[in-house]
């Protein structure tokens, strides 16, 4: 059996059990504009806390915010597409987008320097967001170590972190990081400030904020939600969150930037993508062609199929057709992999042209 904590995800993840254990709500199918997005439509975003406030804001055309943060470690890979796609989805719906580069957390939790975090954020994450369609000029992007050159704003953010420290317990921080060190305590309070500070009067003011995360990050959400209710300095609209499945690593488990054989990076060449999928992608097929033709395969555990389902096959009818053919045994693992490689590489070919351009934009804006 697997275990899921913000610092480690192992084994088979039982999402139904997590919904109960964490006390989040199952997300029911929603109409347009949500159903226009494959993550919602295909149930990849499967649970939430207080998402009705966001649905209401969108329906009533009221202002709302999407907030997220990135710990800049390693290459930007297809697992990162889950949140990136949601940023762009919400921005198009009119949300203000706040993005924290979690360089203080990277220092406190992993010992990574601010310079290294900045380099990775500017070379990997931000250009990919732009290339995927994020309008960076309309995005409130900041580094935790340098919130704003406007002193009033900057002080308001760090003041919030310090006020929050009065309202959290050791056990809550332990649930977030597994252990407690001064660096982790500070990082946990700062992440709560990341999620709540957009509602301060000097930023956007009180309004619903959606934080889309993998379910492993829920302890952060619980902590911030509870603190916001315990403290009485500021009135906050309750934090809303949605939870998506993990993008599986090539050989199963969660895709991780620290294991190159688990991820497909968005900057990798067609030859590398092909080699990695053929060599490492876990197959739901049978071990011989004869057996597969007879018994069929299982697309639900097939990693290549999951990549199609999460992102690369946008046509629902085609996806169903592939799943059925695979189950029947008429579609072989090699054929499914070849189809997936082709889909990913044609996406990457277009993406990488935009990525080069986005890197130049980033140099102009942030250097
Ligand atoms: N803890 C997150 C991670 O490990 C990064 C993060 C920092 C974050 N601040 C945030 C995520 C606010 C969501 C919202 O990647």
**How does pLDDT run across 101-133, given as a tens digit for each residue?**
999 999 988 899 999 999 999 999 999 999 999
In this predicted structure, what is the pLDDT of residue 40? 98
The alpha carbon of 293 and the centre of ligand 1 are apart by a number of angstroms equal to 45
Which of 4, 68, 124, when mutated, tests ligand 1's pocket best, judged by the most ligand atoms within 8 Å of its CB? Answer: 68
**pLDDT tens digits for range 155-202:** 999 999 999 999 999 998 888 888 888 988 999 999 999 999 999 999
Is pLDDT of 144 > 70?
Answer: yes
In this predicted structure, what is the pLDDT of residue 1? 54
The alpha carbon of 71 and the centre of ligand 1 are apart by a number of angstroms equal to 6
The alpha carbon of 29 and the centre of ligand 1 are apart by a number of angstroms equal to 27
**pLDDT tens digits for range 11-60:** 778 888 888 888 899 999 999 999 999 999 999 999 999 999 999 999 99
pTM: 0.95
In this predicted structure, what is the pLDDT of residue 6? 74
Instruction: Give the residue, by CA position, lying nearest to ligand 1 atom 10.
Output: 69
**Span 3-244 CATH architecture:** 3-Layer(aba) Sandwich (3.40)
Which of 105, 142, 228, when mutated, tests ligand 1's pocket best, judged by the most ligand atoms within 8 Å of its CB? Answer: 105
**pLDDT tens digits for range 251-277:** 988 899 989 999 999 999 999 999 999
Is pLDDT of 327 > 90?
Answer: yes
**Span 260-366 CATH architecture:** Orthogonal Bundle (1.10)
Q: Mean pLDDT, the chain, as a whole number? A: 95
The alpha carbon of 325 and the centre of ligand 1 are apart by a number of angstroms equal to 40
**Count of beta carbons in the 10 Å neighbourhood of residue 26:** 13
Domain ranges of the chain: 3-244, 260-366
Instruction: Give the residue, by CA position, lying nearest to ligand 1 atom 6.
Output: 69
Is pLDDT of 362 > 80?
Answer: yes
């Amino acid at each position: 059996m697997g275990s899921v904590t913000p610092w480690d995800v192992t084994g088979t993840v039982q999402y139904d059990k997590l919904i109960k254990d964490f006390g989040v709500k199952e997300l029911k199918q929603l109409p347009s504009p949500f159903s226009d997005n494959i993550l919602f439509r295909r149930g990849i975003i499967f649970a939430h806390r207080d998402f009705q406030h966001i649905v209401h804001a969108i329906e009533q055309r009221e202002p709302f915010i999407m907030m997220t943060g990135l710990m800049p470690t390693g290459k930007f890979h297809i697992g990162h597409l889950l949140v990136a796609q949601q940023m762009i989805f919400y921005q198009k719906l009119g949300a203000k987008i706040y993005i924290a580069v979690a360089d203080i957390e990277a220092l406190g939790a992993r010992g990574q320097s601010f310079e290294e975090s900045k380099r990775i954020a500017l070379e990997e994450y931000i250009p990919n967001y732009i290339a995927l369609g994020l309008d960076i000029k309309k995005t409130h992007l900041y580094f935790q170590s340098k919130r704003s050159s406007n002193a009033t704003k900057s002080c308001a953010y760090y003041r919030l972190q310090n006020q929050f420290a009065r309202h959290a317990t050791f056990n809550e921080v332990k649930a977030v990081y597994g252990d407690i060190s001064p660096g982790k305590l500070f990082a946990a309070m700062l992440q709560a400030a990341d999620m709540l500070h957009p509602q301060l009067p000097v930023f956007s003011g009180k309004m619903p904020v959606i934080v889309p995360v993998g379910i492993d990050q829920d302890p952060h959400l619980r902590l911030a939600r509870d603190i916001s209710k315990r403290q009485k300095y500021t009135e906050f609209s309750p934090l809303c969150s949605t939870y998506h499945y993990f993008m599986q690593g090539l050989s199963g488990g969660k895709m991780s930037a620290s294991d190159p054989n688990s991820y497909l990076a968005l900057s990798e060449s067609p030859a590398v993508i092909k080699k990695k999928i053929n060599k490492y992608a876990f197959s739901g097929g049978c071990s011989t062609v004869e057996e597969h033709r007879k018994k069929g395969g299982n697309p639900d555990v097939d990693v290549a199929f999951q990549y199609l389902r999460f992102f690369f096959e946008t046509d629902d009818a085609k996806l169903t057709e592939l799943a059925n053919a695979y189950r029947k045994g008429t579609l072989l693992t090699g054929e499914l992999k070849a189809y997936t490689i082709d889909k990913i590489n044609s996406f990457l070919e277009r993406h990488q042209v935009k990525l080069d351009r986005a890197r130049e934009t980033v140099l102009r804006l942030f250097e």
